[in-house]
Structure 1
């Protein structure tokens, strides 16, 4: 049998785990949303095939289509991650121009603080000069 043309078997439990991790959701949180225990979610993630009812509940909780759980494979995961990274990189564009900060925000804060300090010193000098002038009158 030619392994290149044979369809790869999809492990639905592993797909749930991948999607859950990509979305940054812990097993405990998913279990809470499903109304089951964390160990039940762990059991789901170990099973190759899950009941349609379970798939529907999990897909609703993860806010992904049931087909994503049923059909996701390694290649689809890589494509999803690459698409996500492209969207993140493109979100840093403003009118198709990249937003490049050419200063360090910390340096800017230090600069502003130093400027404030200098202004305060100047105000104290001005106050002393004014008091001196007023005391001479």
Structure 2
């Protein structure tokens, strides 16, 4: 009997491992949190969406598509700062900091708002 791969739950599991909130991933994708929730509850997800989500999570699309816990832990650990898993480690040491992602998103939002202010100033000077 063939095992059915459910892509949405794989995405959810990896998102939780990486420490992302649904809202943050949805914002990166340019969709609402409700739309993103539908993705995580879907058995099948479009390859383009999988690719975009993989980029956000800093994993390969194959990690999402061919989900395997051991492969996911190994890939996530190695993608985050190219840090190898140590043989004597008691579990996975996750270097990823969700705070860094929030700061990055905030800085992008702030830059966007500054651009809007400059455009409005230039329009008022005309």
Asked whether the two chains share a fold, i.e. TM above 0.5, the reply is yes
**In 2, Cα distance between the equivalents of 1:51 and 1:24?**
23
Aligned to 2:4: 9
- Give the C-alpha shift of residue 77 in structure 1: 1.4
Number of the residue aligned with 1:53: 48
Taking structure 2 as the reference length, what is the TM-score of the superposition? Answer: 0.56
Distance in 2 separating the partners of 1:55 and 1:82: 19
The aligned counterpart of 1:87 is 85
Q: Report the RMSD for the aligned CA atoms in angstroms.
A: 2.7
CA distance in 2, matches of 1:22, 1:89: 21
| C-alpha distance 24-89 of structure 1, shift in aligned 2 (>3 A) | farther
Equivalenced residues, count: 83
The TM-score with structure 1 as length reference comes to 0.52
Which residue in the other structure is 1:71 paired with?
66
Structure 2 residue ranges without an equivalent (≥5)? 78-83, 91-126
* Unaligned residue ranges in structure 1 (runs of 5+): 1-5, 93-137
**Deviation of 1:82 (Å):** 8.4
SS at 1:30's partner residue?
A: helix
> Residue 34 in 1 paired to residue 29 in 2?
yes
Displacement after TM superposition at 1:53 (Å): 1.1
Moved over 6 A (4+): none
